[in-house]
A = this chain, B = another copy of it.
Amino acid sequence: MSPAPHPFDEAIRLEALADGEFAGRSSPAYWNMIGPYGGITAAQLLQAMLQRPERLGDPVSLTVNFAGPLADGPLRIGTQLMRSNRSTQYWTATLRQDDAVAAIAMAVFGTRRPVWSHTEARPPTIAPHDSLPRASRDGAPAFTQHYDLRFERSPWEHRSTDSRGACWIADDPPRPLDFPALASACDVFFPRIFLRRGKLVPIGTVSLNIYFHADAAALAAQGTSPLLGSALCHIYQSGYFDQHGELWGRDDRLLATTHQIVWYRE
């Protein structure tokens, strides 16, 4: 008997159909308040493009626009290679449920080369992973059961004039890092407006952008070690706020930077 698949692999499992289309389903295991966790939708879209046999290189950028709600049930993802160059490919993907567009994505894949490299940013300071307790999931949405998040201070105690915050992020159960998992983790940050207002307010990510700064080998080297994340907001303006994050791996390796713009109501 083979072991049960990891809930993340179950959530992003796709069946290849004809003409670059894939069949999947929204994941109850990664459910958020009123629909699937946005990170898992981003991971499904990326996974569809990764599954295409024509795909060359590793993801360099991924943008997902969340166009409409997703219900519990089957979904389809159409993928299209828009242009293929010598070392880069440009893909689009569209996620539909019952023929309604629920999310659209663009991705660039590329081949990385051993040229002069330098990390100018520095990782945030935080207490060691093992010294911090796992954050409570009491009353939290289902997807948080599958993320081991550790903060120095509870996000709820964090309210201040500064939304900057850091946390440790790991899959639960542990799972070796790959691109879909890294994409999903980019959406795990506590929405900055919750910190800032000290309360839950209605929100929804409108657009999520991810730049990957590592190749598949670097992600494999990370294995199941927890990621170190940091996030901040520049502006909450007239119903939309931005959120910027960094995801760091072992040896102060910056694996991804991520940005999103989020609708909110007050």
Contacts and interface: CB of A to CB of B under 8 A. Distances in A.
Interface string A187-226: 0000000001100000000110101011100000000000
Contacts of A261: 60-61, 108, 211
A86 to B, nearest CB: 11
Interface string A221-257: 0000000000011111111101010100000001001
Contacts of A162: 120
A73 interface: no
Contact of A206 (B88, B117, B232, B266): B88
Interface in A33-58: none
Given A63-B209, A106-B63, A117 B83 contact: no
Contact of A259 (B118, B211, B236, B266): B211
Given A83-B101, A104-B90, A209-B259, A113 B60 contact: no
A205 B236 CA distance: 28
B234 A215 contact: no
A2 interface: no
Contact of A117 (B94, B207, B237): B237
B235 A120 contact: yes
A107 to B, nearest CB: 8
A56 to B, nearest CB: 14
A161 B234 contact: no
Instruction: Name which of A65, A68, A113, A246 has the most chain B CB atoms within 10 A of its CB.
Output: A65
A263 interface: yes
A119 B234 contact: yes
Contacts of A257: 234-235, 242, 244, 259
A264 interface: yes
A84 to B, nearest CB: 9
Contacts of A232: 120
Nearest to A233: B120
A46 B257 CA distance: 25
Nearest to A197: B116
Given A67-B90, A82-B101, A264-B115, A108 B206 contact: yes
Given A82-B101, A119-B234, 16 more contacts: A63-B63, A63-B106, A65-B106, A67-B85, A88-B206, A108-B206, A108-B207, A115-B238, A115-B265, A116-B236, A117-B236, A118-B236, A120-B162, A211-B242, A213-B242, A235-B257
